[in-house]
Amino acid sequence: MHPLSRRRALQLGGLGVAGIVVGGAGLITAAPARISTAGGEILAPPPGLTASGGSLDLTLTAAVGDTTLAGRRATTLRYNGTVPGPTLYLSAGDHLGVDLVNNLAEPTNLHTHGLQVTPQGNSDNPFVMIEPGRTFHYDYRIPADHPPGTYWYHPHHHGRTADQVFGGLYGAIVIGEPTPLQVSADRVLVISDITLDAVGVASASAMDRMQGREGDLVLVNGQQTPHLEIAPGARERWRIVNACVSRYLRLQLTGQQLELLGVDLLDGGRAQIVDELLLAPGNRADVLVTTAAGAAVLQALPYDRGSAMGMGGGMGSRRRTPGAIIDLVGFTVAGSAPATSPVTVDRPASLDLRAISDVRHRALTMAMGMGMGATGSATIDGRAFDANRIDQTVRAGAVEEWTISNTSPMDHPFHLHVWPMQVISVGGQLAVLPTWRNVVSVPARSNAVVRIAFGPQTGTTVYHCHILDHEDNGMMGVVSVG
Ligand code: C2O
Ligand code: CU
Ligand code: CU
* CB contact at 8 A, 110 and 156: yes
The one-character DSSP state at 329 is E
Ligand with smallest separation from the Cα of 413: 3
What's the pLDDT score for residue 310?
Answer: 61
Q: Give the Cα separation of 200 and 267 in Å (integer).
A: 40
Ligand with smallest separation from the Cα of 421: 2
pLDDT level of residue 347 (50, 70, 90 thresholds): confident
Look at residue 140 and tell me whether its pLDDT is greater than 80: yes
Instruction: Compute, in angstroms, the gap from residue 413 CA to the centroid of ligand 3.
Output: 6
What is the DSSP code string of 180-220?
Answer: ----SEEEEEEEEEE-B-SSSBPPPPHHHHHH----SEEEE
Average confidence (pLDDT) over 60-64: 98
What's the pLDDT score for residue 27?
Answer: 31
- Compute the Cα dihedral for 52, 56, 62, 63 and give only its sign: negative
Instruction: Compute, in angstroms, the gap from residue 115 CA to the centroid of ligand 2.
Output: 8
Atom of ligand 1 nearest to the CA of 156: 2
| Nearest residue to 109 (alpha-carbon basis) of 161, 152, 59, 63 | 161
Residue 114 CB less than 6 A away from ligand 1: no
Residue 417 CB less than 6 A away from ligand 1: yes
Instruction: Compute, in angstroms, the gap from residue 280 CA to the centroid of ligand 1.
Output: 12
Average confidence (pLDDT) over 294-299: 92
Q: 68-100 pLDDT, tens per residue?
A: 998 889 999 999 999 999 999 999 999 999 999
What's the pLDDT score for residue 438?
Answer: 98
Whether the pTM exceeds 0.95: the reply is: no
What's the pLDDT score for residue 71?
Answer: 84
CA angle 164, 165, 168 (to 5 degrees): 90
Q: Give the Cα separation of 415 and 436 in Å (integer).
A: 12
Ligand with smallest separation from the Cα of 243: 1
Residue minimizing CA distance to atom 3 of ligand 1 = 113
pLDDT level of residue 29 (50, 70, 90 thresholds): very low
**What are the two backbone dihedrals, phi and then psi, of residue 350, each rounded to the nearest 5 degrees?**
-65, 150
Residue 156 CB less than 6 A away from ligand 1: yes
Ligand with smallest separation from the Cα of 465: 3
Ligand with smallest separation from the Cα of 414: 3
Instruction: Compute, in angstroms, the gap from residue 470 CA to the centroid of ligand 2.
Output: 14
Ligand with smallest separation from the Cα of 479: 1
Q: Are strands 360-369 and 377-380 parallel, antiparallel or unpaired?
A: antiparallel
Average confidence (pLDDT) over 120-147: 98
Q: 102-119 pLDDT, tens per residue?
A: 999 999 999 999 999 999
What rounded mean pLDDT belongs to the chain? 88
Torsion of CA 436, 440, 446, 451, to 10 degrees: 40
Tell me the C-alpha to C-alpha distance, in Å, between residue 112 and each of 203, 268, 411, 438: 25, 23, 24, 12
What's the pLDDT score for residue 370?
Answer: 78
Q: For the chain, how many residues are written?
A: 482
Q: Give the Cα separation of 271 and 22 in Å (integer).
A: 11
Atom of ligand 1 nearest to the CA of 114: 1
Atom of ligand 1 nearest to the CA of 439: 1
1 contact partners, CB below 8 Å, separation of at least 6: none
Query: 374: burial class by Cβ within 10 Å (0-12, 13-18, 19+)?
Result: exposed
**What are the two backbone dihedrals, phi and then psi, of residue 212, each rounded to the nearest 5 degrees?**
95, 110
**What are the two backbone dihedrals, phi and then psi, of residue 402, each rounded to the nearest 5 degrees?**
-110, 125
Average confidence (pLDDT) over 147-165: 98
Q: Give the Cα separation of 60 and 110 in Å (integer).
A: 10
Residue 113 CB less than 6 A away from ligand 1: yes
Q: Are strands 446-453 and 399-406 parallel, antiparallel or unpaired?
A: antiparallel
Look at residue 23 and tell me whether its pLDDT is greater than 50: no
Average confidence (pLDDT) over 283-303: 93
Instruction: Compute, in angstroms, the gap from residue 348 CA to the centroid of ligand 1.
Output: 27
Atom of ligand 1 nearest to the CA of 282: 1
Average confidence (pLDDT) over 352-367: 96
* CB contact at 8 A, 212 and 246: yes
What's the pLDDT score for residue 429?
Answer: 97
Atom of ligand 1 nearest to the CA of 126: 2
The one-character DSSP state at 248 is -
Instruction: Compute, in angstroms, the gap from residue 287 CA to the centroid of ligand 3.
Output: 27
Residue minimizing CA distance to atom 1 of ligand 1 = 113
Atom of ligand 1 nearest to the CA of 113: 1
Q: Give the Cα separation of 150 and 12 in Å (integer).
A: 25
Residue 464 CB less than 6 A away from ligand 1: yes
Instruction: Compute, in angstroms, the gap from residue 111 CA to the centroid of ligand 2.
Output: 6
Instruction: Compute, in angstroms, the gap from residue 22 CA to the centroid of ligand 2.
Output: 27
Average confidence (pLDDT) over 375-404: 96
Q: Give the Cα separation of 464 and 360 in Å (integer).
A: 20
Instruction: Compute, in angstroms, the gap from residue 25 CA to the centroid of ligand 3.
Output: 34
The number of beta carbons lying within 10 Å of the beta carbon of residue 395 is 12
Instruction: Compute, in angstroms, the gap from residue 468 CA to the centroid of ligand 3.
Output: 7
Percent with pLDDT over 90 in the chain = 76
Tell me the C-alpha to C-alpha distance, in Å, between residue 452 and each of 179, 223, 381, 437, 460: 28, 37, 19, 10, 15
| Nearest residue to 87 (alpha-carbon basis) of 172, 152, 1 | 172
Atom of ligand 1 nearest to the CA of 438: 1
What's the pLDDT score for residue 40?
Answer: 75
pLDDT level of residue 13 (50, 70, 90 thresholds): very low
What is the DSSP code string of 415-479?
Answer: EESSS-EEEEEETTEEPSS--EESEEEE-TTEEEEEEEE--S--EEEEEEESSHHHHHHT-EEEE
pLDDT level of residue 371 (50, 70, 90 thresholds): low
Look at residue 235 and tell me whether its pLDDT is greater than 80: yes
Ligand with smallest separation from the Cα of 248: 3
What is the DSSP code string of 101-140?
Answer: EE-SSS-B--EEET-----STTSS-TT--B-TT-EEEEEE
Residue 157 CB less than 6 A away from ligand 1: no
Instruction: Compute, in angstroms, the gap from residue 470 CA to the centroid of ligand 3.
Output: 5
The number of beta carbons lying within 10 Å of the beta carbon of residue 76 is 21
Average confidence (pLDDT) over 352-373: 91
Instruction: Compute, in angstroms, the gap from residue 153 CA to the centroid of ligand 2.
Output: 8
Look at residue 11 and tell me whether its pLDDT is greater than 80: no
Q: Which of 49-53, 237-241, 295-299, 320-324 has the lowest mean pLDDT?
A: 320-324
Q: Give the Cα separation of 115 and 112 in Å (integer).
A: 6
162-186 exposure pattern, b = at least 16 Cβ within 10 A, e = fewer: bbbbbbbbbbbbbbbeeeebebbeb
